[in-house]
Amino acid sequence: MISAQLLAWFRVNKRPLPWRESKTPYTIWISEIMLQQTRVNQVIKFYLCFMEKFPDIKSLAAASEQEVLKYWQGLGYYSRGRNIHKAAIQINTLYNNQFPTQYESIKKLPGVGPYTAGAIASIAFHSPVVAIDGNVLRVISRLFAVNTAINTSEGKKIITGIVEDILPKKQPGDFNQALMELGALVCKPKNPDCDSCPLKNYCIAFQQGIQYQLPKKISNKKNHLRYFNYIVIRNPLNKTSYIHYRENSNDIWFHLFEFPMVEDDHLYDPDEICSHLLNHWSLNSGQFVLTNISADFRHQLSHQTIYARFFTLEIALPLNNLPDTIQAVRNKDINKYPFYVLISKYLEFTHSKK
């Protein structure tokens, strides 16, 4: 009865999202990866742009990583973009551009975990496998009054077992989507709309009046403060700027670009940034002029808060003996490079001031 009631509700209430216009494994895969840690309304414009540029596995596999990251710019969690590029190359090599059809094979692709593999296998190939995301964890914890924290392995195991028991074998893809849709539209984290819920007559939490107390979670987040001092070096004579390529594979922003940066336990003042250039870049005071200090930027990540300040320098001659990761690029070409969100915010801010 639960599955029948939920599927009937889904047929009437599902949102007309662009990735639902096609049930190909490629479109499902791209949308599901984009939707990880990102809201639907934010994903739509990125999805449409990305699919226009890379309409299939072949075009994605043929692109360079930098090109893929450029079209991923703004979505954050850039390892997702790197992984879909790796996976596309792997599908091209191992499966002749045909998306693998089996759950276990799909799960072996770079960046694909149990949830994404379950979503692709059930929606595209009608495989009777579950897809457990945050929405499903919340819905099931309330529906069956699960008291175990959903962000523990035990809690996830309990909920996965419940969903496997109620999963209809004939419509697994629609059922998985319906559970996720119910969590997104009705069974919301803080303000569940229980009166509109198609499953309220079956919901133990609603019957007991404890829906606001569930799901239970163990809090283990510790916010880390970081301070970035960016050095924006411009040469007005040849209209170039210097940018830095992050090549450390342990960095969340590796293979992306930024302006050269000094991280410290505070934001620098003008004297400190000039001292750094003199002592660490082997510049002399006659080689550069500090022309601008930006307003401070605040950028929030899941477990850290970044405060940033941008110092603009003008130089008259090209800089020599710089690391290979720092390069001069023409100002008119700077937007061709993939930057992470904080740098994009700064570039948009400076452009709006012109």
Q: How far apart are CA 119 and CA 109, in angstroms?
A: 14
**How is residue 185 written in tokens?**
């539209």
According to DSSP, the residues that pair with 242 across neighbouring strands are 328
Catalytic residue chosen out of the listed positions 32, 67, 258, 348: 32
Among candidate residues 94, 86, 56, the one with its CA nearest the CA of residue 69: 86
How far is Cα of residue 280 from the mean position of the Cα atoms in its chain?
35
Compute the distance between CA of residue 71 and CA of residue 160 in angstroms, rounded to an integer.
Answer: 34
SS3 category, 268: coil
Instruction: For the chain, list the strands marked E by DSSP.
Output: 224-235, 240-245, 257-258, 261-264, 288-293, 297-300, 304-315, 326-330
Sequence-ordered list of residues with C-beta below 8 angstroms from that of 346, at least 6 positions apart, any chain: 230, 294, 297, 308, 310
Q: Specify whether 52 is catalytic.
A: no
Residue the block writes with tokens 């829906």: 211
Q: 344, 322, 324, 345: which is closest to 334 by C-alpha?
A: 344
d(CA 256, CA 338): 6
**Which of 196, 89, 99, 208 lies closest to 146, judged by CA?**
208
Q: How far is CA 159 from CA 38, 231, 307, in A?
A: 23, 49, 39
88 CB-near residues (< 8 Å, 6+ apart): 57, 60, 61
Pick from 190, 257, 185: nearest CA to 9:
185
Paired tokens of 229:
């001092």
Q: Which residues are catalytic?
A: 32
